Amino acid sequence: MKKLILISLIVLVAVSCGPKRHYAIQVSSEGGPGNRIVHNNWDISSDTLKLDGGKCMFTGIIDTFPKLVSIGFTPPSYLSTRMILEPGKIFVDYTKENGFKLGGTENNIIFQKLLDEMKPFQDDAAKVWKAWNVAYNKTPRSKEECEAIWIQHEDANQRTLDKTRELIKANPNFAGLVITLPIIRSEPVEYLKSYVDEFKAFSNNRWFQMIVKEYEIADKTISGKPVPGFSFPDTTGKMVSLSDFKGKWVLLDFWYVDCPWCRKLTPHMIDIYKDWKQSKNFEIISISVDKPKDYKRWKEAIVEDKSPWTQVNDSTKTYPDVYGINGYPTLILVDPQGNGVKKIIGYQEENGLRRLLGEFIK
């Protein structure tokens, strides 16, 4: 009987660890920034191997697949790429001229093809972004120059987004899901809903569940439905509620005192506020997430920046969690009926912000 049980266990182990769950990652490097490679199997393990003759190979058994992981050079370079872990032999080739290239297994072949198709668009966007940074950091800074380049930046980003959406729609596979991830924070609710529908085959995957979460948050906050209300203290301790502003267009501004781009955005919002406060029934509520230890600095920053609108504090970050705010500055536009209609992430030039808000505020 014991012998029979032992044989059964051996068979069970052999089946569970069979070739259908084995992977091998063949890495080759030519002109790389180091000779040690790290394979980060997120949440499970992190393995490091030394290149021998420019090559090394990681092998193992997959817990779940397909699965998004990363592979690259160890610090201080931190140069790495995302990769899809799945059964079979995966090739990761690095050259100084072309960077990382993936291949071998089905999803990695598709993933590399998608990356190659997006690259020209991303390169154009990066080139314009670099030009804007150069212009922004000039002394003195030319607002006209920055505004002109910002329009090019918006156009390049839109072309990149349009191409990414096109590829996502054509690829309801795991590689398509992976290229969705960088854009979900800022996508409108209708696109997020389409991604949830397209990638249901991966419902148990953590990244699919992240898309679902982003969709659920967007559906509550920027889909034209009433947004969750709040009551937070202003600089004097008086409680302020979003409902106090019903009947007005309200721009919710999430920030904190040590966020440099939040502070750089403020002068643009001041100009817009002065123009639109009366003529377009427009208000701003800045929601600080500064901790109690920074209250004094928070109040000083408001005075220093000369912000003329309502300022409240949410030190527990309750509202940012409700609204899915995971980067600062982030703006949410609420219409006069209390419905959320637009999310704007990151710094904007003044006319760029006017254009985004002007899609709704006429």
SS in 3 state form for 191-207?
A: HHHHHHHHCHHHCCCHH
Give the number of C-alpha atoms closer than 13 A to the C-alpha of residue 33, restricted to the C-beta side: 13
If residue 102 lies in a helix (H) or strand (E), which one and from where to where?
strand 99-103
Give the number of C-alpha atoms closer than 13 A to the C-alpha of residue 260, restricted to the C-beta side: 0
* Structural domains of the chain, with CATH: 13-104 (2.60.40.1120), 109-221 (no CATH), 231-358 (3.40.30.10)
Strands 67-73 and 36-41: antiparallel
Strands 88-95 and 99-103: antiparallel
pLDDT (tens place) for every residue of the chain, 362 residues total:
444 444 333 333 333 344 578 999 999 999 999 999 999 987 777 899 999 999 999 999 988 889 999 999 999 998 999 999 999 999 999 999 999 999 999 999 999 999 999 999 999 999 999 999 999 999 999 999 999 999 999 999 999 999 999 999 999 999 999 999 999 999 999 999 999 999 999 999 999 999 999 999 999 999 999 999 999 999 999 999 999 999 999 999 999 999 999 999 999 999 999 999 999 999 999 999 999 999 999 999 999 999 999 999 999 999 888 999 989 999 999 999 999 999 999 999 999 999 999 999 99
- Two structure tokens written together for 12: 């069970």
